[in-house]
């Protein structure tokens, strides 16, 4: 009795495989064997969705519903990752502009080198205030941009203050700068440097010297602001990590 059963095993196995490979037509319900792409009864196309397409459909549905997408098989990454978003510049400027004005007032009242203290300090304050009201992830590049904007604002207000003062004290400014340039020329033993400093003491040279000095000061403000902003975000990330 065992031999007839063993002899029928290949037939049973093949019939099982055929049944496992069968599916019903979604239109007429006719059984379809194998991987046929069209129903032999009604001719309807049989759409077969792969596992990758199912996962893509799940991700699309999750993104539309606002829920986190399920992790992919074999993926070792967490389901939720902290990603950076755009900066609300309008809100940031509401804090940055008054602090930039405060930086310039303290710099003019105390010493020009005070800019290197008050600009980073007020920038850290502005970023901290922004993060309290906009609790989103900020990258070091975005922190550098925020610092550059703060430095540009500080330079703009200092430039306005300088131009207003220059309009009222033009003669005193020229006399002071010419005196300083002549003193530098006398202290420098290089003949070419002396000739250049003497040219800067002329009216055209004084204008060129002033423009060059203002441009250099702009670069300093941008460098200090962007560096302070990137460093503030980097230190904050390290502190949150620990």
How crowded is residue 144: how many other Cβ atoms within 10 Å of its Cβ?
20
Residue 89 has pLDDT above 70, yes or no: yes
Residue 197 has pLDDT above 70, yes or no: yes
Average pLDDT over residues 86-106: 92
Residue 158 CA: distances (Å) to CA of 46, 166, 203, 217: 73, 12, 23, 10
The set of residues, in sequence order, having a beta carbon less than 8 Å from that of 208 and lying 6+ positions away, is: 200
What are the backbone dihedrals phi and psi of residue 32, each rounded to the nearest 5 degrees, phi first? -120, 125
Residue 71 has pLDDT above 70, yes or no: no
Q: Is the pTM of this model over 0.75?
A: no
Q: Where would I find the H helices in 78-202?
A: 89-109, 115-133, 140-168, 170-187, 191-200
Please tell me the predicted confidence (pLDDT) of residue 66: 52
Q: What is the spatial distance between Cα 190 and Cα 197, in angstroms, rounded to a whole number?
A: 11
Average pLDDT over residues 175-198: 86
Residues of the chain with pLDDT > 70: what percent?
Answer: 72
Q: Are 107 and 188 in contact (CB under 8 A)?
A: no
Please tell me the predicted confidence (pLDDT) of residue 75: 43
Q: Are 123 and 232 in contact (CB under 8 A)?
A: yes
- At how many degrees (to 10) do helices 89-109 and 140-168 cross? 50
Residue 16 CA: distances (Å) to CA of 2, 25, 29: 20, 19, 20
Q: Are 39 and 27 in contact (CB under 8 A)?
A: yes
Q: What is the spatial distance between Cα 232 and Cα 242, in angstroms, rounded to a whole number?
A: 16
Token readout for 168 is 């009222």
* Nearest to 83, CA basis, from 146, 130, 139: 139
Q: Dump pLDDT digits (tens) for 122-154.
A: 999 999 999 888 888 889 999 999 999 999 999
Please tell me the predicted confidence (pLDDT) of residue 76: 43
The set of residues, in sequence order, having a beta carbon less than 8 Å from that of 68 and lying 6+ positions away, is: 62, 79, 80
* Nearest to 14, CA basis, from 1, 33, 30: 33
Q: What is the spatial distance between Cα 224 and Cα 214, in angstroms, rounded to a whole number?
A: 15
Q: Are 123 and 229 in contact (CB under 8 A)?
A: yes
């Amino acid at each position: 009795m065992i031999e007839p059963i063993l002899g029928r095993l290949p037939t049973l196995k093949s019939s099982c495989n055929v049944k496992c490979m069968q599916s019903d037509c979604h239109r007429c319900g006719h059984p379809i064997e194998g991987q046929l792409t069209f129903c032999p009864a009604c001719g309807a196309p049989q759409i077969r969705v792969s596992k990758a397409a199912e996962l893509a459909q799940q991700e699309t549905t999750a993104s539309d519903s606002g829920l986190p997408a399920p992790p992919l098989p074999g993926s070792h990454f967490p389901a939720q990752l902290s990603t950076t978003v755009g900066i609300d510049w309008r809100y940031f400027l509401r804090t940055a502009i008054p602090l930039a004005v405060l930086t310039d007032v303290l710099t003019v009242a105390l010493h020009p080198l005070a800019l290197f203290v008050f600009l980073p300090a007020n920038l850290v304050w502005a970023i901290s205030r922004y993060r309290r009201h906009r609790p989103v992830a900020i990258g070091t590049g975005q922190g550098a941009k925020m610092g550059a904007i703060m430095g540009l604002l500080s330079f703009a207000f200092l430039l306005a203050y300088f131009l207003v003062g220059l309009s009222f004290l033009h003669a005193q400014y020229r006399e002071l700068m010419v005196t300083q340039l002549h003193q530098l020329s006398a202290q420098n033993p290089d003949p070419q440097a002396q000739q250049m400093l003497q040219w800067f003491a002329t009216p055209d040279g004084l204008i060129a010297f002033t423009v060059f000095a203002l441009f250099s000061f702009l670069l300093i403000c941008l460098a200090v602001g962007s560096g302070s902003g990137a460093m503030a975000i980097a230190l904050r990330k390290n502190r949150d990590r620990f």
